[in-house]
Structure formats: C-alpha cells, structure tokens
Amino acid sequence: MLKRGARMCELFGVSSSVPVRVTYSLHAFAEHGGHLHPNKSGWGIAYHEGRDALLIKEPEPASDSPWVRFIESRPLTSTTILAHVRYATAGKPSFANTHPFIRELGGQMHLFAHNGGFEGIWSAMPLKTGLYRPVGETDSEHAFCVLLERLAGLWQGRDEPPPLADRLAVVAATAAELRKLGASNFLYSDGEALFVHAHKRHWDEGNGRFSEARPPGLSIAARRDLAVRGLKVEVPRDHPDVLYVASVPLTGEGWVPLPEGTVLALLDGREIGRVEA
C-alpha cells in the first residue's frame, strides 16, 4: 500500500472567455485531495498572458513562502491558469523539477503540469531531435519535451496557431502512449487552448491508506465564481464562460468525472474538442 503522499500531486486548471481573478493558498488547497503530509515537494502556478506567461513556483513547502503570501494578497488575472502541488516521485525536490514546466514553441510560451508517474519513459519514448531537452530529472518534464517535439512540425513557419484538430490529434496520440507507462493526468496549454488528459489516480481510502490508481483522474465543472478552502476564483459580472478542472471535485455539486483516457481541448471556457480512449 502506498505511503501517504505518494504520487498524489494535485492539479487545477481554469479556462475562461475573460480574465478571472484567482486567490490561491497552496497548503489549504492540497487538503482537498487528502494531502495532510507536511513534506510537500513544491508548488507552482502559471498564468497565460497573450503569447507569454507568468510562472511562479518553488521546490519548498508553501507554508512560509513569501510568494504564496504575494499570490494570496495580490490576486492575478488570466483566461488560462494552471496550478500544481507536487509530491516528488521522480527527481529530487528542486526548482528545475517543480511543475508547471514552460517552453517556447512557435513564438508562444507553452505550459505543462502532470500528476502520476511514467515507468521507463526515457527508453520507451526517447527524444529524437534535440530541440527540447529536460532541465530537470522528472519523467513529467521528459513527457512534456516529447509532446513539444511531436507538435513542433505543426507550428513551424506559422504566425498563427495550427488547426486545433491537428494539435488535439497529436496530444491524444501522445497521451495514449503515456497511459501505457503509468498514471497520466496532465494539463497542457499552448497559449490558445488548454488540453486536459484524464487517466487515473490514487484515491484516499482513509486511515492513511491509498488505493491503487483508478479513474477518475480529473473532474471538470462549468460554473461561475468558485470559493473553497484555499482557492477563490472571482469572475466578472457579465457571466462569461468558465470551466474548471481539478484532481478531485472541489465542491459538493456540479463536477463531472472525466472518463479514463479522455483528452479535452478547452478554449475560452468552452469544450471545443474531445478524444476518448
């Protein structure tokens, strides 16, 4: 049986048609997934802003972080937000190993955060071009580099993002390979669309005991404001479209578990593409 905290990272994502305002308390948010272990391995949150992105992350517990206090006291706004609380399973706690990861492709910053673990990914899915190489030691960052390597041809020589159907096909095909190597829930943003892959995760069975990985790995909700312990999302009054994705449902209603192997493409708070295993 897994020890408390093993392979139990938490993911949270937002896709909205207008910028939303997020206040985020990392330690409190992590408790939604049953994470009471004091030795969190790191945390990060990223905000897209046009072609660029703001990334704030640390390889330390969030309890005493001045960056966390900054996020709590000065909420930032964006239409696409990714957040991650990490428990290290591959790679030591370090800045380079902390999610989300960020890279440039096609003149836009791309973001990636993952929950799970990929057994033997380095040999099963080797990097072939050298265009993207991991900075850290994690299987997650290696998977991100593989994905970007496969997407690079679509973006080459373009001033606009490639057709979404083409991007979704590459993401879905890569996700299918990753599922063979282990639990693979991830959020990937290319500056226009937010891609969501739901697989399976370890669920709290009580008394510090966790199950073997099983679906659902992620849940999704369409709602307006969101206010729970550790997280507050404020949406403008003009009732824009907003979708939330999280490792576990954050409120008692409105959340839909995503079937195992589902890949979604979200744009401006709406689902515009889906591939199911």
Residues taking part in catalysis? 9
Name every residue whose Cβ is closer than 8 Å to that of residue 134 and which is 6 or more positions away in sequence. Answer: 141, 142, 145
Alpha carbon 78 to chain centroid, angstroms: 15
Q: Looking at residue 268, what DSSP letter applies? A: T
Quick check: 231 and 12 in contact, CB under 8 A? yes
Q: For residues 17 and 268, give the distance between their C-alpha atoms in angstroms, rounded to a whole number.
A: 4
Q: Are 219 and 255 in contact (CB under 8 A)?
A: yes
Which helix or strand (DSSP H or E) is residue 165 part of?
A: helix 164-179
- Which of 7, 34, 15, 9 has its CA nearest to residue 220? 15
Dist CA 202 CA 3 (whole Å): 11
Q: What is the dihedral of CA 113, 116, 119, 121, to 10 degrees?
A: -10
* Contact between 155 and 106 (Cβ < 8 Å): yes
Task: Please state the φ and ψ torsions of residue 154, each to the nearest 5 degrees.
Answer: -70, -35
Report how far residue 144's alpha carbon sits from residue 206's, in angstroms, rounded to the nearest whole number: 33
Tokens found for residue 236: 């403008």
> Residue 142 belongs to what H/E stretch?
helix 139-155
